[in-house]
Amino acid sequence: MQLPTLRPAALAAALLLAAFAAEAATLKAALLSREDDPRLERSRAERAYLGHPTGVPADGLRLALEEGGFELEAVGAKVDLETREVADLAAARAAAQAAEKAGAAVIVAELPADWLLAVADAVKVPVLNIGAADDRLRAADCRARLFHLLPSERMRADALAQGLLQRKWQKVLVLAGSSPADTARLAVVQAAMKRYGLQPVGAVKPFKLSADPRERDLANPLLLTAGAQYDAVWVVDSEGEFARSLPYRTVLPRPVVGDGGLVAVGWHAQFERFGAPQVSRRFAKAAKRPMTGHDWTSWMAGKTLVALAAAQPKGHAAAWAAALPKLNLDGSKGVSMSFRAWDGQLRQTLLLTDGQGVISQAPVEGILHPVNVLDTLGADAPEKLCKAPR
């Protein structure tokens, strides 16, 4: 049987595709996540506190790589993802070193802050942070090769402060837990309130959830919110349990924001603009659960890998590392997103939600910035909080 003869144009195209496939390199990446992550304990995940993860980070990453298949195929590029779970800081460091030795050009990390720093210091390739919101990672403990896709605590606090300012809810009563995480996050909230001219009402009111009958009053919303005039109540509760029960239980009929009531998140499954419903539906179909802000962040990590491989299909580790800070990414939020040169944080809008729907986006209308309005969320360049050269 005689084989069909290709026309010259078709033959040239076939040869070009073959050349692309032959010359393209595979971008190898490794996902490091925490073994037996306490945040994903079954009863906790089922509560689905706003702003907390409810499933493994690999779900979003794999979806993004699957969706990017056509784009990668068009330029003859490939992305190979390896996943590793680690039990402690030492294991995280060892896993990162092993992945780099095996050829990984990018490390994606869903790890606590100290583990993340150990990984960033152990390798010479870029590290994408998708799990730690700590502001110190963008400030005193920043690293030149560390890039943050998860919004920082300061970004979330700024988003809420802008929302309060826009609605002229300027007198704010603050309730805060006593854990180290709450103490650190309280300082961020106070900085955001000062930045946007919000007025704290009296001293911060501490709360404590306890099974001890003698301490029952420390978590009584009526006692905590009595005796003051305020426009809103801002609750700082890293665990989420107290904050969840606070709305509609304050002495004055006022809105609750922070970790309960109105919450600033990177994503919500009820966001209905810029193609977001299609993204949420694809994720829900693949993962069998609603898409959260942490899932969107891991999805964006996958999109970052796809964009990197497509931009440098013949690349090697050095070329990919050089291209990463220059990427412009689309995350179905209506804006082009890029990494800040001064701290490696991904610029992005945030969603203000009560859990039922998305109330608004931040930056809110009317907030201005001399260069990029997205830089009104989080640390701005003139603050120079990150000293690491980039």
Indicate the DSSP class of residue 353.
E
Extract the runs of DSSP E, i.e. beta strands, from 306-384: 329-330, 336-337, 350-353, 358-362
Are 212 and 141 in a shared domain? Answer: no
Q: What is residue 20's predicted lDDT score, i.e. its pLDDT?
A: 45
| Of 213 and 122, the one with more pLDDT | 122
Calculate the alpha carbon distances from 334 to 100, 119, 290 in Å: 35, 33, 21
Is 16 a domain residue?
no
Q: What is the pLDDT of residues 340-378, one digit of tens each?
A: 999 999 999 999 999 999 999 999 999 999 999 999 999
Structure tokens at 91: 């294991």
Q: Residue 378 and residue 157: Cα distance in Å, rounded?
A: 8
Distance CA 379, CA 195 (A): 11
The answer to whether position 360 is within a domain reads no
Fill in the DSSP letter of residue 205.
E
DSSP calls for 131-147: S---GGGGTTT--TTEE
What is the arithmetic mean of pLDDT over 32-58?
Answer: 94
- Long-range Cβ contact pairs of 202-206 (< 8 A, separation 24 or more): 202/173, 202/228, 204/174, 204/175, 204/176, 205/173, 205/174, 205/175, 205/176, 206/175, 206/176, 206/177, 206/178
Q: What is the band of 9 on the pLDDT scale with cuts at 50, 70, 90?
A: low
Question: Nearest-5° angle of CA 356, CA 362, CA 368?
Answer: 160
Count of structural domains, the chain: 2
Residue type, 335: V
Question: Of 203, 236, 265, which closes a domain?
Answer: 265
pLDDT tens profile 266-320: 999 999 999 999 999 999 999 999 999 999 999 999 999 999 999 999 889 999 9
Residues 147 and 271 in one domain: yes
d(CA 129, CA 304) in angstroms, rounded, equals 12
Q: What is the pLDDT of residue 5?
A: 52
Percentage of the chain modeled with pLDDT above 90: 88
Per-residue pLDDT at 63 exceeds 80: yes
- Is pLDDT above 70 for 4? no
230, 255: one domain: yes
- pLDDT band, residue 209 (cuts 50/70/90): confident
Where does a domain end: 232, 265, 298?
A: 265
Assess if residue 295 is contained within a domain.
yes
Mean pLDDT of 16-39: 78
Average the pLDDT over each of 13-22, 108-117, 182-191, 260-269 and give the range with the smallest value: 13-22
Q: Supply the DSSP symbol for 30.
A: E
**For residue 389, what pLDDT band results from cuts at 50, 70 and 90?**
confident
On the question of pLDDT at 21 being above 80, the answer is: no
In the structure encoding, which two tokens stand for residue 234, read together?
A: 């801002």
Tell whether 317 is covered by a domain: yes
pLDDT bin (cut points 50, 70, 90) of residue 216 is: confident
* Boundary residue ending a domain (248, 265, 282): 265
Report the CATH number that the domain containing residue 257 is assigned in CATH. Answer: 3.40.50.2300
The residue to which tokens 């539906």 are assigned: 281
Per residue in 68-110, pLDDT (tens digit) is: 999 999 999 999 999 999 999 999 999 999 999 999 999 999 9
Yes or no: say if 356 and 340 are a contact pair by the CB < 8 Å rule. no
Instruction: Name the one residue in this structure whose structure tokens are 């829900």.
Output: 284
pLDDT tops 90 at residue 10: no
Q: What angle do CA 202, 164, 230 make, to 5 degrees?
A: 30
The encoded tokens of residue 109 equal 């990390």
What pLDDT, on a 0 to 100 scale, did the predictor assign at position 8? 53
Max Cα separation, the chain?
A: 93
